[in-house]
Amino acid sequence: MPDSELDNIVGLIESFELAEMTPPDTLQCELRPYQKQALHWMVHVEKGSCLEEAATTLHPCWDAYHFGDKRDHVIYLNAFSGDATTGFPSTLQMARGGILADAMGLGKTIMTIALLLAHTDKGDSSTSSACQAFGECINASHMRNLSPNYAKRSTNISDTNKLLKFKASLIGGGNLIICPMTLLGQWKAEIETHAKPGSLTIYVHYGQSRPKDAKFLAQHDVVLTTYGVLSSEFSAENSEENGGLYSVRWFRIVLDEAHTIKSSKSQVSMAAAALAADRRWCLTGTPIQNNLEDIYSLLRFLRIEPWGNWGLWHKLIQKPYEEGDERGLKLVQSILRSIMLRRTKSSTDKEGRPILVLPPADIQVIYCEMTAAEKDFYEALFKRSKVKFDQFVEQGRVLHNYASILELLLRLRQCCDHPFLVMSRGDTQEFSDLNKLAKRFLRGGKDAVGGEANVVPSKEYIKEVVKEMQKGEEGECPICLEAFEDAVLTPCAHRLCRECLLSSWRSAVAGLCPVCRNIINRQDLITAPTESRFQIDIEKNWVESSKVSILLQELENLRTSSSKSIVFSQWTAFLDLLQIPLSRRNLTFVRLDGTLNQNQREKVITQFTEDHDILVLLISLKAGGVGINLTAACNAFILDPWWNPAVEEQAVMRIHRIGQTKTVSIKRFIVKGTVEERMEAVQARKQRMISGALTDQEVRTARLEELKMLFT
């Protein structure tokens, strides 16, 4: 969702409207004025409203109408449901916490650390009246509405209510911070850097050997963990032997990159909602990524009542908003007004000055021209793909074959980066008429003299294991929500990270598939091929594509200045290819993608930041799209466009943020006359549309039109 549309929905806070708070002495850095304002706001929100105050606050769905001569004659009307009553409809107790939705790069991490230092305690291990009120409001039937798999899963639960009721037996703990695996080391480093030594004890709860003892977890001021660990322990918590994160009532829970839980029916979203805590915070620069429904999951986690009830949310907010009824938008704005703080880089202080001044960012688009050999290869691929697409159009089954069409587009997009990416795919043989063109490209555009080209697989591909195994970089582990790491395939054809799967089991030899709940044995797991993903010897047959040639020239021009660069691609196979010419030209580089574990990621980031000889960081767009800080670089190259422009923006924000002292150069690569150029038009079209306000039929029509644009 474009920032302009997001800001229209959630609104921006004028900085001069907020008071500032002096941070505690234990914070070893200087906060900017707008960060002091955020600290004051967060501390104020955490105080919460007492039950007495909530009892006298009118529910936002109701309006009061006075009639007659006496002002005490009041009737209350619910404009959404049509109900009327003379009894005062009050709100429930509001949660202590909210959404810090400042735009990327404004320093949400340091603001949160200041909050931890300003007020840290242990969670209330007793069941308060407020908790009882919440337990009565949200029950197991609500959870059943959230997930179609709930009834199947609940057969393993002795008491379904234990997922959401606050239990008196919980041990009071400190702060729990949940983040993507990529940020685990950065959170630990930031706390150790900015908090006075001895002021906060930190424990990283990660890995197969992590302890599940509640007393151990509760004794630390800050426990850091990942969404993957949270999801796996939620599965374990469904058994009678509770433990881990769910055995502690936390003083405060912080979700970093909180939009991770946006899908309310996902395992990770329900896992977050089931945690027990006194205070709850969501940190995200994009609280709405796709549509208004993304907010629902955040409100459910925050205990903003009664909006944790899906039926009420859908009836009073989601449905009216989708139908263009402004009351839905106004209602969600009234809910967010008191619990969300959002500022952007363009926000100003009371003097009219920007709240944050960064070095300028120069953004350019480099339009690449294909070589004759590349163009012939691409045109043949495009014609073959268009024939298939046109068949779907004639049959009126375009949207029924959406996945197949995305597969066709994937080939075309990868071809724009390098033909090797298409030639590496297991299903390329169905495009048999491309063989001659492929051989021609391998010879640098020259016609073959005779004989067969050396296009022999370095390892025979697994015979159509599943289509996902042929789709390169499009998948993600359903548990950790990140790129596959040491991927395994289950007998039921689901792909997961090995560690994620095994850590979700209670036994070392067998367990349930987290996707379909079938019982699987460890010995039946298939390891995904980890040798060369290319069906040719890419070293021996190396040829530069036009896009690679231009990138290399850009990097050579920067070599003398010793300025560091980040190269983004959404396909790690393309990063594999780029390593060949970089090594041959002695352009020193490191690489960060979803295949690295936590320690390896931290080592790569440290090397790139501190080693002056390392000039290039190759990074997958997905791994670089979360909140890692890469301000050591001042050049960014985005080699392939993403469907959602916000993903590209998040990646660029890794270098254009607090701590950057140099002018930033951002260059996006687009191949002229290809699907990449048409993707730009689709992106611009999406930004002009307010997608959340379209009807289902309008969304389908718009999607069909966009696909036709891509195949023209």
Instruction: Tell me what the mean pLDDT of segment 572-578 comes to.
Output: 90
Range name among 518-527, 627-636, 655-664 with the lowest pLDDT average: 518-527
Domain 456-461+468-538 has CATH 3.40.50.300: no
**pLDDT tens-digit profile of 13-46?**
555 578 999 999 999 999 999 999 999 999 998 8
Q: In Å, what is the CA distance from 170 to each residue of 230, 271, 278, 311? A: 17, 17, 12, 30
pLDDT computed for residue 293 by the predictor: 84
pLDDT of residue 223: 97
Q: How confident is the model at residue 594 (pLDDT cuts 50, 70, 90)?
A: confident
Q: Are 332 and 304 in contact (CB under 8 A)?
A: no
Of the candidates 647, 699, 708, 648, the residue with the CA atom closest to the CA atom of residue 681: 708
Q: Is 368 helix (H, G, I), strand (E, B) or coil?
A: strand
Residue type, 494: H
Q: Which among 65, 52, 128 is positioned nearest to 91, based on CA atoms?
A: 52
Given this model, what pLDDT does residue 486 score?
Answer: 63
Which runs of E-coded beta strand occur in 504-611? 510-512, 519-521, 526-527, 564-569, 589-592
**Confidence at 139, pLDDT banded by 50, 70, 90:** very low
Is 690's pLDDT higher than 90? no
In this predicted structure, the answer to whether residue 208 has a pLDDT above a threshold of 90 is no
Buried b (16+ CB within 10 A) or exposed e, 123-146: bbbebeebbeebeebbebebbeeb
Given a cut of 90, whether residue 251 has pLDDT beyond it is: yes
Distance CA 307, CA 298 (A): 10
- Encode pLDDT of 402-450 as tens digits: 667 777 888 889 899 998 888 755 444 444 444 555 555 555 544 433 3
Q: What mean pLDDT is predicted for residues 329-341?
A: 86
Let me know: does 679 contact 643? Beta carbons within 8 Å: yes
**Residue 505 half-sphere exposure, CB side, CA atoms within 13 Å?**
16
d(CA 269, CA 267) in angstroms, rounded, equals 6
Candidate from 64-68, 390-394, 630-634 with smallest mean pLDDT: 64-68
Instruction: Give me the mean pLDDT over the 489-505 stretch.
Output: 75
Is the four-CA dihedral 48, 111, 271, 338 of positive or negative sign? positive
CB 215 within 8 A of CB 632: no
Q: What confidence tens digit (pLDDT) does each residue in 145-180 have?
A: 343 333 333 333 333 344 444 445 788 999 999 998
> Is 601's pLDDT higher than 90?
no
Mean pLDDT, range 101-107, rounded to an integer: 88
Q: Is 98 helix (H, G, I), strand (E, B) or coil?
A: strand
71-85, 127-141, 243-257, 373-387 — which is least confidently predicted?
127-141
Helix (H) or strand (E) holding 301: helix 293-302
Do strands 495-497 and 487-489 pair parallel, antiparallel, or not at all (unpaired)? antiparallel
Element housing 174 (H / E):
strand 171-179
Which of 218, 226, 217, 215 lies closest to 188 in space, CA to CA?
A: 226
What lies within 8 Å, CB to CB, of 593 at 6+ separation is: 483, 572, 575, 618, 619, 620, 623
Domain 3-48+93-341 has CATH 3.40.50.10810: yes
Which is more confidently placed, 326 or 624?
326
* Angstrom distance (rounded) from CA 499 to CA 480: 10
Q: pTM of the full predicted structure?
A: 0.67
Residue 34 is which amino acid?
Answer: Y
Among 66-70, 339-343, 358-362, 564-568, the minimum mean pLDDT is found in 66-70
Average pLDDT (385-406) is: 78
Q: Are 613 and 172 in contact (CB under 8 A)?
A: no
The whole-angstrom separation of Cα 384 and Cα 403 is 17
CA dihedral for 366, 367, 372, 375, sign (positive or negative) = positive
Cβ contacts of 450 within 8 Å, gap of 6 or more:
none
Is the pLDDT confidence value at 507 over 50? yes
CATH architecture of the domain with range 550-669 = 3-Layer(aba) Sandwich (3.40)
Q: Provide the pLDDT for residue 121.
A: 85
Query: pLDDT at position 418, please?
Result: 92
What average pLDDT does the chain have?
77
Residue 692 in this model has a pLDDT that exceeds 60: no
CB atoms within 10 A of CB 176: 25
Residue spans per domain, the chain: 3-48+93-341, 456-461+468-538, 550-669
Interior/surface letters 220-247, b for 16+ CB within 10 angstroms, e for the rest: bbbbbbbbbbbbbbbbbbbeeebbbbbb
619: which strand partners?
A: 568, 592
Considering only 167-171, 514-518, 543-547, 688-692, which range has the smallest mean pLDDT? 688-692
Structure tokens at 188: 């630990």
Q: Give alpha helix (H) positions in 611-674.
A: 645-652
CA distance 283 to 108: 7
Q: Please report, rounded to a whole number, the percentage of residues in the chain having pLDDT higher than 90.
A: 30
Sign of the four-CA dihedral 177, 181, 186, 189: positive
Burial (CB count within 10 angstroms: exposed 0-12, middle 13-18, buried 19+), residue 584: exposed
Please, how many CA atoms are within 13 Å of residue 219, restricted to the half-sphere of its CB?
6
Question: Which of 244-258, 504-518, 585-599 shows the lowest per-residue confidence on average (mean pLDDT)?
Answer: 504-518
Query: Among 339, 341, 293, 299, which Cα is nearest to 317's?
Result: 293
DSSP bridge pairs for 368: 671
Range in 61-75, 364-378, 525-539 the model is least confident about: 525-539
At 229, the amino acid letter reads: V
Higher pLDDT, 330 or 534: 330
Q: 3-48+93-341 with 456-461+468-538: one CATH topology?
A: no
The pLDDT value given to residue 483: 60
Which of 345, 365, 362, 355 is closest to 663 using CA atoms?
A: 362
Q: CB atoms < 10 A from the CB of 368, how many?
A: 21
**Which neighbouring-strand residues pair with 669?**
366
Residue from 277, 441, 275, 474 nearest 372 by CA? 441
User: In this predicted structure, what is the pLDDT of residue 672?
Assistant: 93
Q: How far is CA 128 from CA 48, 56, 90, in A?
A: 14, 20, 20
Report pLDDT for 188. Answer: 93
pLDDT of 693 over the 60 cut:
no
Of the two residues 400 and 429, the one the predictor is more confident about is: 400
pLDDT at 48: 67
